[in-house]
Amino acid sequence: MPELPEVETVRRGLAPAMEGACIGRLELRRADLRFPFPPDFAERVSGTRIVGLGRRAKYLLIDLDSGETVVAHLGMSGSFRVEQESESELPGAFHHTRSKDEKHDHVVFHLEGAEGAIRVIYNDPRRFGFMDILPRVDLDNYPTFRQLGPEPVGNTLDAEGLAVRFAGRSQPLKAALLDQSNIAGLGNIYVCEALWRAGLSPKKPAGTMVTPAGKPRKELVRLVEAIRVVIADAIAAGGSSLRDHIRTDGTLGYFQHTFRVYDREGHACANPECDGTVARIVQSGRSTFFCSRCQK
């Protein structure tokens, strides 16, 4: 499942083609994806102009000049493809092959912009993604977004706010970080990486990160900074499941080349001051990778 950095990379790849463009026609090639399309979906989108392309957690937001917003989720296998005349581009092209088989092209945005006619095509072989539309003013009350916590980018995530959410919680830290009501958009990979960078055990009770007075301990401040850095680094590298990003020195730069613990069971800990070994445990049905020697 694409995580926040992957979705943000896709958003940035689509923005040049979509922002400011008019949607001459929205073509639906089937009646549903994971869920049926909203009533009159094509009619409500066709003829509008895209005023902005945003993201909330792992969801793309397409803001229209009609005052409505299209909410799109990639699911397990969804991707967008931009086609202009004879050229075809897959923004945020995935390292694990994404389908270009036209039989899985389910939604087509026929755009009219400064660069001429463009098609933005949503392809999804497994159809676990979905699209919805609602008034922009109702977005905060959208069922999927209503309980979401702050984003792990920008200035909305801070140790003080997280202390309020963690106070009195006996839940393991790993589970608390995956809880979307605490932080929006964090997934398994980046939680493991952030905990390693912060030197914190995934089994540590979340409530121990907060003082009796409800203030964040220094460990929580350190964790918030680690989360920010991990997400920023992953976005800069194009995510973990996206295509190879070439650095100026010619080396591959996509984020999974810099994993410190995720999927590294049995490897030596990457901390040069630690002689531990990365272990794998299962928490809430998910694999957790960590170093028990330096993560306390």
CA distance 90 to 72: 16
The pair of structure tokens assigned to 122 is 């949503």
Among 127, 203, 286, 293, which one carries the catalytic annotation?
A: 286
User: Is residue 91 annotated as a catalytic residue, yes or no?
Assistant: no
Among 3, 8, 193, 219, which one carries the catalytic annotation?
A: 3
**Contact, 125 vs 101, CB < 8 A?**
yes
CA distance 247 to 133: 38
User: Is residue 34 annotated as a catalytic residue, yes or no?
Assistant: no
Among 2, 91, 152, 202, which one carries the catalytic annotation?
A: 2
CA 119 from centre of chain: 24
- For helices 218-237 and 159-166, what crossing angle results, to 10°? 110
Select from 178, 174, 194 the least CA-distant residue to 186.
178
User: Is residue 2 annotated as a catalytic residue, yes or no?
Assistant: yes
CA distance 264 to 290: 9
Among 11, 55, 56, 58, which one carries the catalytic annotation?
A: 58
User: Is residue 286 annotated as a catalytic residue, yes or no?
Assistant: yes
Catalytic residues: 2-3, 58, 286
